[in-house]
Structure 1
Amino acid sequence: MNVTTTVVTVIAALMSGFSAYALLSRQVWVVQPLEQYGVPKGWWNLLGAAKAAGALGLLAGLAFEPLHLAAGIGLVAYYGGAVLTVLRAKAWGHVPFPMVYAAPVVAALVLAA
């Protein structure tokens, strides 16, 4: 991987890791919308763990590229599901938020190709 790919991957991992931390620590600005969208509380730990695993996978993928690809695809699927959840809840103004987190992951995947 070149320097640009590495930097973008680290940014993507940091953003996803921060998002996982915010969910797992039950930050109000994260859990209030989840309640509004109808996401069951029983899923929150699993969703946070999935984001954390994706972030760690991106970082580990710097050394083992197949892991980078798997983690990136998993995170893109996760954030795609988040967009669909927001759309289902008709919270149109919230659609950009998961897309902001997905963008650097997509960029990391494109740069690594």
Structure 2
Amino acid sequence: MTITSSGKTRATPETDQRTALIASLRTLANLFEDVPELPLIQGMEISWSILGSDEEGRRIVEHASRALSEEAVNHRVTDDPNHAIAINIPLVGDYVARAVHVYDRSMAEYRARTSYGPVIQVDEQVAS
């Protein structure tokens, strides 16, 4: 969202995307309610990435944690310096919502371990 010089807010692609995502999540909730045959996985996690540098990721997590605290939302911040920082919001039972920033070093190590993937081809087994 952008605030103009007149003090009015103006939609940006980010707010349009946020609005669309919120509507999609409401649609999903309605589907679970309206179609009980739609199975739920026990211990389901709704997870999304926090992109940007490590500094930006940490700042976003800290800012969001303060905002959640102000709204009295039960949450926990976890920080594994060797992997990621995350905001964890328990929902019900084993269900959790989680926003995660994976640290740059951890992502670089992951990419190094999996960089060969696109060039490996497994020969099809020939029936004898």
Tell me whether the two structures share a fold, i.e. TM-score over 0.5. Answer: no
TM-score when scaled to structure 1?
Answer: 0.34
Higher strand share: 2
Between Structure 1 and Structure 2, which shows a larger proportion of helix residues?
Answer: 1
Q: If the length of structure 2 is used for normalisation, what is the TM-score?
A: 0.31
- Greater relative contact order (Cα 8 A, min sep 6): structure 1 or 2? 1
Q: Kindly name which structure, 1 or 2, has the bigger radius of gyration based on alpha carbons.
A: 2
